[in-house]
Chain A
Amino acid sequence: MAAVPNPDITPPLPGEDLQVLRAAVAKFDYDQLLWASGYLAGLARATLTGAVPAEEAGQSATAETWNVFYATETGNSRRVAESLVERARSAGLDAQLQDLRDYKPKALTKVANAVFVVATHGIGEPPDGSEAFFEFWLGERAPRLESLNYSVLALGDSSYADFCAMGQVFDERLRALGATAVVDRVDCDLDFDSPAADWAERVVSRASETAKPQVSTGTRPARLHAVPKQTVPTRERPFTAEILLNQPITGRGSSKDVRHIELDLESSGITYLPGDSLGVLPKNPPQLVEAVLEAVKLGAADEVTLNGEQVALADALSEHREITVINRPLLETVAGLHDELRQVLSDRTRLTGFFGTRQVIDLLADYPKPWTAQELVDSLRRLTPRLYSIASSPDANPGEAHLTVGVVRYEEFGRPHWGAASSFLADGAGEVPVFLEPNDRFRLPDDGDAPIVMIGAGTGVAPYRAFVEHRLEHGHKGDNWLVFGERQLATDFLYQLEWLRYRRDGVLTRLDVAFSRDQAEKIYVQHRLREQSRVLFEWLERGAHVYVCGDAERMAGDVHQALVEIVQKEGGMTGERAQEYVGNLKAARRYQRDVY
């Protein structure tokens, strides 16, 4: 084994020190040992140059520093940015990671080299928290940026008409302000791994060309980033969790099928916090795979090449390719044979409508085209994991994670439709590959006495179950207020028994519910907030943290609007002042959203 040191070499270490070193690395696996050897080599080099590893170095940016900015909603941009920083540093560049949320917009004027990883969220919107940065730089008062070298990686979802809009707009704006794109913008769909890696490589190589050779001048040491090799599961190496419970939690007659899923994470190495999400890597529903095969008139056993390997088409469709949500390249490919689709592609409203209502099967079945198996697989994007907010506190449920899964299953255009992950979880899978997706932007207050207001619709209630379990488990005395919305009290009040028990026991200080279909007029959570505006403002004034989880398109915006109005009314403020008040809540991390 490579990991066994050659006993013939006499170590330059006293026996004691050698024992300490041996003990320290005893539990390391192959990858970890390799990494450690590099780390030690770096340390050795640093003793020659007088530099220190990254952790101890200051965060001072210089003209040679590459600032890697990201704006993220789901964590994808952060991950891409992190890997770029890693890559740059291992190429001997000075790279710094920077979340745009925490960045003063104007500071960009002092930056020489900037790389932006920008996700587009919702309908052409920037990720939550980065609005101020983009408003400033897209606004009329933005200063020139003549001396800036930059590149933009845009992340998006091609099943939206405004695919990668934020990245595109920002890229164009930087160019207009006089900045120089050192590498052209790349737009990535949900399967961004490989285009993002290509882009990163080009950025790093361009940056290396312009940077002064560092080791030779001795002014800048090669930086070694002391991040220990991850032993926890990742999306690339997920943990296969056993499904302990798959329990419907909507009542008979409900228009929705929501499942409470309990997963066994014992021995997974996953440790999570309330607010975190779990990524689920599903297999597509077998009925859907069959339907796709029938629609394209191809055989299940037809061979295709996928990442250099021969795979049966059915397996490719089941495990590797997205066959629910349509992506733009697929639509464009099919449109080659259908005028109607070309018109859809050229009309933003129709395109949004098309993406909003149709799935891959509708496109393939209703717009026939002669396909080869390889062409089909190449036109489909990679099957991407689905993220679910964890509905349990790890301390109240050691070794488990609970999910609240809305099962997507409906009849449309004369055929059944399924959600990939929700069907997979609901239809009796015994185990499921998962990984942790941390979400530091949806966290309980550190102060256990701080009041919290949890606003959620539907399965958006999931993280609140984790929050309240957690606060109860840790004896936190802060007030808890849940505002929950769904369609019908009789069938749709998710975790009703638990909430009622928490209320009875005083754990839940207030419980307000909005059931939109229980009366003639529609009542939503924002209506309940307005009804309670005085109380809500009182809570805000005594330091309450506000959380919003659930539907991005409708609820989150309406709730935001209601919050501003409530602050305006109860605080006797102008609209502008109320906006600022709510903005300050956001800045202070007292207004956090997890919307999708």
Chain B
Amino acid sequence: MNDKVLSAVEHLKKRSNYLRGTLVESLADAATGALAEDDTQLSKFHGFYQQDDRDVRAERTRRKLEPAYSFMVRVRVPGGIATPAQWLALDSLATAHGNGTLRLTTRQAFQFHGIVKSGLKATIRGINDCLLSTIAACGDVNRNIMCTPLAEVSDVHEKAYETAIALSRLLEPRTRAYHEIWLDGERIEGTADSEPIYGDSYLPRKFKVTIAIPPSNDVDVFAHDLGFIAIERNGELAGFNVLVGGGMGATHGEPETYPRVADVIGFCTVEQTLAVAEQVVALQRDYGNRSNRKRARLKYTIDDRGLEWFREALFERLGFSLASPEPFEFRSRGDDFGWRRDRRGRWQLTLFIPAGRIKDTAQHRVLSGLREIARIHTGDFRVTPNQNLIVSGIADDERPAIEKLLAEFGVLELQGGSPLRRQALACVALPTCGLAMAEAERYLPEITTKIETLLERHGLIGEDISLRITGCPNGCARPYLAEIALVGKAPGRYNLFLGGDAHGRRMNRLAEENIDETGVLDMLDRLFARFTAERAAGESFGDFAARSVFAGERS
């Protein structure tokens, strides 16, 4: 435990009576669309964030109205897999209570936006009714467990996915507050809540766990607090390489905060996995920084105490040592779009969903199209870590009907575009995210088009290049692992990062600070020209940028 003064949120968690706070009273207060201030922290553990429409914030203040509050509700979907029935349920909740869109996240979750306070309960109940949940989708706890959604392309997927589900159950908060508040569960008098893994103060900060199945590193396994890389032996899942200390978040102008790639610390068998996860969480619970939330992620605990200390402490708690890591190889990070037949003979259809936003526009009625597909689909839906969607397990005779719907609703038309466009990621940012300093999702199509123009000019339009944009430095779209990243600094101004590798192992570096669009495009234009002229055989743009832009600098 850190001896320093505890942060305000720590006190809040402790006195919240296992995450109850005054949420019930906040929900009942009809005079405001907001929660009481303390409850806005606790709400995250229940899976939702209070936000407001920042586009109209100043105008509403002049109109003597409070900000246009609404809530982002995040649905936890381990491994990103949902049934068609669940899809339809989420779709109808988004239409009834949200802004009519569903957002696929970079951590394989669904998000609703624009839910007003009076619609929260119905939304969360509806989500639970279809056997999904929002608990711990946000907050200082383990979040949604990610898992490469390759489906049966790899034989180990099924086992890895089972592990993801088991991890999710293991690390789920045990408080009955969630059930009481949202599902009208009876408060059982005399039986105390307890959190055997978390304790009553939960974790110092959010905690992210992910499972990667090589050769794909779509989950960006190096970007999470705890990562597992599936190791296949003789066609079976033998176990996982264990990674700790990854994390993307940083704060502008505070060098003691930084993104960090995870370290591989060993190998565990499938049977050992839950114990490893539990003890890593317990270590972070006991040693994580509870006085400064900006330095409260596991990556800082490890850097502050040393990786060796961490390994030893972990092995001591486990009662065994991890084996040496097994060799592994990642060959891709993006999604393979289109139709593929899996090893069981069923079809996997990977659809490009720009910025993960499922909505209807005049030309592309993606929400409606997927609704129709969900009505006839017998397989499942899988959210990819790249904000895209796999319609998985399609039988031969179902394929024509689905193809027809894709064409009819304009989903097919969306599937074109350069590799840059189809790999690009953006966080939600303005107008709803309270942290955003600049546009991201709304700006992505425009900046992509402009960069594509440059790529065309330099004959690079077919090149696989990853572009990621976030509205702030907290890293929701994992920008620091992209080949080109724009990290929001102020409206219309970004920090430009270059030189990540193609597979998510090497972080990029700050190339230009606080520049506008012209600055970004000028820089890229010059660099694309040099790349065309100077690239080594088979060299990726990220690798080229890393060696040319930062030539002579210590990496």
Which residues of A line the B interface, CB within 8 A? 247-252, 260, 489-491, 493-500, 503, 511-513, 515, 518-519
Contacts and interface: CB of A to CB of B under 8 A. Distances in A.
A251 B30 contact: no
B63 A251 contact: yes
Contact of A491 (B30, B32, B61, B65): B65
Contacts of B31: 489, 493, 496, 499-500, 503, 511-513
Nearest to B34: A500
A490 B32 CA distance: 9
A257 to B, nearest CB: 11
- With most chain A CB atoms within 10 A of its CB, the pick from B31, B60, B62, B66 is B31
A496 B30 contact: no
Given A251-B68, A513-B30, 4 more contacts: A251-B60, A489-B116, A500-B66, A518-B118
A413 B60 CA distance: 33
Given A251-B56, A252-B56, A497 B30 contact: no
Nearest to B29: A511
B118 A249 contact: no
Nearest to A251: B65
Interface in B114-139: 116, 118
Per CB-CB distance, the 8 closest pairs between chain A and chain B, nearest first, are A249-B63, A497-B64, A513-B31, A511-B31, A496-B65, A495-B64, A513-B30, A249-B64
Contacts of A249: 63-65
For the complex, would chain B's binding face be called helix, strand, loop or mixed by DSSP majority? loop
Given A251-B56, A489-B30, A496 B64 contact: yes
A462 to B, nearest CB: 13
16 contacts: A247-B62, A247-B63, A250-B63, A251-B56, A251-B60, A260-B64, A489-B118, A490-B116, A496-B65, A496-B66, A497-B61, A499-B31, A503-B31, A512-B30, A513-B30, A519-B118
A500 B31 CA distance: 8
A495 B59 CA distance: 14
Interface residues of B, number: 16
A106 to B, nearest CB: 48
A497 B33 CA distance: 12
A493 B66 CA distance: 9
Contacts of A498: 64
A366 to B, nearest CB: 37
A277 to B, nearest CB: 21
Contacts of B59: 252
Contacts of B62: 247
Contacts of A495: 64
Contacts of B68: 251, 490
Contacts of A496: 31-32, 64-66
Nearest to B53: A252
Nearest to A465: B64
A513 B32 CA distance: 10
Nearest to A488: B116
- With most chain A CB atoms within 10 A of its CB, the pick from B32, B56, B59, B62 is B32
A248 B61 CA distance: 11
Interface in B57-98: 59-66, 68
Contacts of A518: 118
A332 to B, nearest CB: 44
Contacts of B33: 489-490
Contacts of B30: 489, 512-513, 515
Interface in B405-444: none
A127 B52 CA distance: 46
B432 to A, nearest CB: 15
Contacts of B61: 497
Contacts of B63: 247-251
Nearest to B61: A497
A497 B60 CA distance: 10
Contacts of A250: 63, 65
Nearest to A260: B64
Interface string B33-53: 100000000000000000000
A385 to B, nearest CB: 27
Given A511-B31, A513-B30, A497 B65 contact: yes
A515 B30 CA distance: 9
A462 B56 CA distance: 25
A497 B68 CA distance: 12
A509 to B, nearest CB: 13
Contacts of A500: 31-32, 66
Contacts of A252: 56, 59
Contacts of A493: 31, 65
A512 B30 CA distance: 7
A408 to B, nearest CB: 19
A503 B36 CA distance: 13
A513 B65 CA distance: 14
A581 B501 CA distance: 82
Nearest to B30: A513
A250 B64 CA distance: 8
A40 to B, nearest CB: 53
Contacts of A511: 31
Contacts of B32: 496, 500
B456 to A, nearest CB: 40
Contacts of B64: 247, 249, 260, 494-498
Interface string B256-291: 000000000000000000000000000000000000
A511 B28 CA distance: 12
A491 B118 CA distance: 14
Contacts of A512: 30-31
Contacts of A251: 56, 60, 63, 65, 68
- With most chain A CB atoms within 10 A of its CB, the pick from B61, B64, B116 is B64
Contacts of A490: 33, 68, 116
A518 B30 CA distance: 10
A352 B118 CA distance: 39
Contacts of B56: 251-252
A410 B157 CA distance: 62
A494 B63 CA distance: 9
Contacts of A260: 64
- With most chain B CB atoms within 10 A of its CB, the pick from A489, A511, A512, A515 is A489
Contacts of B60: 251
B32 to A, nearest CB: 6
Nearest to A252: B56
A410 B88 CA distance: 39
Nearest to A518: B118
Nearest to B118: A518
